[in-house]
């Protein structure tokens, strides 16, 4: 049984969103530096050896980078829960105090950690877009709304 065209397009779009989060320098491929930037926000440091292993596991053409098609192949094979669990992990990283909400400070620190320069007003606008305010922040579902990802409806 073949998946519908809509589900294939949805899956590709979901993977693209996750890929773009990891591609910190936005050059269309995930490098060791991109992964270092992403994992630097985790409480326990990811070693260079672990990052090398991640790249090696996905880098089918052995060019030292993970292109989108390689990323998609690995996630299809290794993550039965799909892209949503990747966003859940990213949310946990952003939610530094573990209260289930991502506020202004959480987002500012996260974007700075991954090397993205985002202005204060842009962060406030993101939070408002998710239906939150600067003081209380937003929950996981609202973060998906900010990132334009809707797993329940299949909209992206």
The domains of the chain, with CATH numbers, are 5-146 (1.10.238.10)
| pTM tops 0.95, yes or no | no
Section 94-123 average pLDDT: 84
Percentage of the chain lying above the pLDDT 70 cut: 74
At residue 110, what are phi and psi to the nearest 5 degrees?
-60, -50
Query: CA-to-CA distance for 73 and 70, rounded, in angstroms?
Result: 5
Q: Give per-residue pLDDT as tens, 6-55.
A: 444 445 666 787 888 889 899 999 999 998 888 776 666 678 888 888 88
3-state helix vs strand vs coil in the chain, percent to 5: 55, 5, 40
Q: To which H or E segment does residue 67 belong?
A: strand 66-67
């Amino acid at each position: 049984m073949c998946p519908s065209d809509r589900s294939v397009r949805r899956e590709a779009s979901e993977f693209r969103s996750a890929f773009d989060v990891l591609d910190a320098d936005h050059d269309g491929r995930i490098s060791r530096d991109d992964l270092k930037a992403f994992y630097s926000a985790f409480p326990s440091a990811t070693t260079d050896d672990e990052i090398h292993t991640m790249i090696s596991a996905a880098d089918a053409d052995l060019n030292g980078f993970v292109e989108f098609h390689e990323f998609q192949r690995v996630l299809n094979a290794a993550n039965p829960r799909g892209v949503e669990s990747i966003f859940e992990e990213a949310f946990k990283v952003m939610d530094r105090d573990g209260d289930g909400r991502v506020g202004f400070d959480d987002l500012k620190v996260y974007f700075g950690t991954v090397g993205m320069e985002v202005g204060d007003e842009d962060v406030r606008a993101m939070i408002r877009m998710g239906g939150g305010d600067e003081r209380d922040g937003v929950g996981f579902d609202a973060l998906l709304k900010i990132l334009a990802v809707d797993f329940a409806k299949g909209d992206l």
